[in-house]
Amino acid sequence: MNGLLAWLILATLSAPAVLAVPALSGTQQQSQPAWELDWQAGRREASVDSLQRQVENGAADSAVQLLLAERQLAIHRFAAALSTAEQLGPDGRGVAAQAHYLLGHYEQALLSLDPTDEIQVLMLVDSHEVLGHGQQTLDALGQARAVLGPNHPALAVAEGRAAARDGKHDEALSAFRRALAMDPFDHMALFGLGRSLLQLGRRDEATVALARHRELVPLMDQRDHALRAIDLAPMHADNHALLGDVERKIGRFDQAEAAYVRAAALAEPGQLAPVILRHARLLSEDRGDLTAAVALLDEASRASGDIRLTVRCGDLLLADGQARAALARFDLALQARPGDAQLTTRRAKALALLQATDE
């Protein structure tokens, strides 16, 4: 996978043209075709299959065909998107160019990529870089700066790569450090930084950067997998929870928390507790915010009635030495599960701590 491809896939697939539209009223839904309702409900593959059949049967105009191409791109059917877009002629040029790029057809992509588009201009830079077009890469970087401005992490990485290719490793270090200042978890910036440090003889610093790069690569692969799952089924709570887990491993706690919140909003009753438990763990262990974790667990427990949340809340409070509060949670749990051996043991520990502290 080339330097910017992972970031560009994600950026391309979150473009407004392929986002799900807001839920419609009952009257509006009645006027929508089945494939559109499937798309809005998150049944992306079924929607695209249905839409494709309509296009193949000749029952769709060019606007619907373009929509099909965009949505094929959105669910990672790049070859199908290319085929659909090429049948549209000039109207499908933008989708075709992106599909060529995502399929690794860089020469073909260069013929149609739009240098005024925020996504496609980065694809333009990367295509020239992959093909070893030195001057064209620099020209494309100038176009990208005009469109994106100077402060964009993917652009900074591209500038660093171009400088390193020309042997300007001091300039490359500056660019890679700018990228990392904007995104400390940019594994491509870390890789470029490490390589340029090696070239400058700064081996110890290079070793640190490259070791961090090696740690992040499998996590970023897991993140890409989770995001692809969301592209295919955006209404599945488990997909968002999986993304939260990966973001937490990476260390991006804001993104992880946002993913857990989305997962909880989408979760069926039986799916909610595992999501809340993971979110609470992030709050207590990574944020160091026990108060927020307890509040989350208590609220979700009241809403769902899931005893696991009450027990976990008691465990956190007990570990923090809040014996009275922990005892209250274990007593509440025992009302739902009278005589439960594990709960009885927990209650005994909380009671012993309370008596010891009262003394």
57-94: pLDDT as tens digits: 988 899 999 999 999 999 999 999 999 999 999 999 99
Distances (CA, A) of 198 to 156, 202, 307: 19, 6, 55
Q: What is the pLDDT of residue 199?
A: 96
Instruction: Tell me how far apart the alpha carbons of residues 74 and 19 are, in angstroms, rounded to a whole number.
Output: 8
Per DSSP, the three-state class of 202 is: coil
pLDDT in tens, the chain (359 residues): 454 544 455 544 443 333 333 444 455 455 789 999 999 999 999 999 999 999 999 888 999 999 999 999 999 999 999 999 999 999 999 999 999 999 999 999 999 999 999 999 999 999 999 998 989 999 999 999 999 988 888 899 999 999 999 999 999 999 999 999 999 999 999 999 999 999 999 999 999 999 999 999 999 999 999 999 999 999 999 999 999 999 999 999 999 999 999 999 999 988 999 999 999 999 999 999 999 999 999 999 999 999 999 999 999 999 999 999 999 999 999 999 999 999 999 999 999 999 998 75
CA-nearest of 91, 88, 72, 89 to 80 is 72
Rounded Cα distance between 89 and 324, Å, is 72
> How far is 74 from 234, CA to CA, in rounded Å?
12
CA nearest to 219, candidates 255, 187, 246: 246
pLDDT at residue 60, as a whole number: 82
* From the candidate CATH numbers 1.10.12, 1.25.40, 3.40.1350, 1.10.10, the one assigned to the domain spanning 1-112: 1.25.40
**Residue 30: its pLDDT value, please?**
58
What is the distance between the alpha carbons of residues 344 and 212, in angstroms, rounded to a whole number?
45
What is the C-alpha separation between 156 and 173, in angstroms, rounded?
10
Question: For residues 180 and 208, is the Cβ–Cβ distance under 8 A?
Answer: no
Tell me the C-alpha distance between 354 and 84, whole Å. Answer: 70
Amino acid at 260: Y
Q: Who's near 26: CB < 8 A, 6+ residues apart?
A: none
pLDDT, the chain, mean? 90
Number of H helices, E strands in the chain: 21, 0
The CA distance from 171 to 182, in Å, is 17
- For 265, counting Cβ atoms within 10 Å of its Cβ (0-12 exposed, 13-18 middle, 19+ buried), the class is exposed
Rg over CA atoms, the chain: 26
Q: CA 315 from chain center: how many Å? A: 31
Among 150, 157, 187, 188, smallest CA distance to 172 is for: 157
| Interatomic CA distance for residues 353 and 350, integer angstroms | 5
Strand, coil or helix: what is 204? helix
Classified as helix, coil or strand, 52 is helix
- Signed CA dihedral, 122, 128, 134, 139: sign only: negative
From the centroid of its chain, how far is CA 34? 28
Give me the residue spans of the domains in the chain: 1-112
Q: What is the pLDDT at residue 18?
A: 33
Which pLDDT score is estimated for 17?
35
Q: What is the 3-state secondary structure (H, E, C) of 294-350?
A: HHHHHHHHHHHCCHHHHHHHHHHHHHCCCHHHHHHHHHHHHHHCCCCHHHHHHHHHH
| DSSP per-residue letters across 126-154 | HHHHHTT-HHHHHHHHHHHHHHH-S--HH
**Beta strands, E only, 251-292:** none
Predicted confidence (pLDDT) per residue in 20-43, tens digit: 334 444 554 557 899 999 999 999
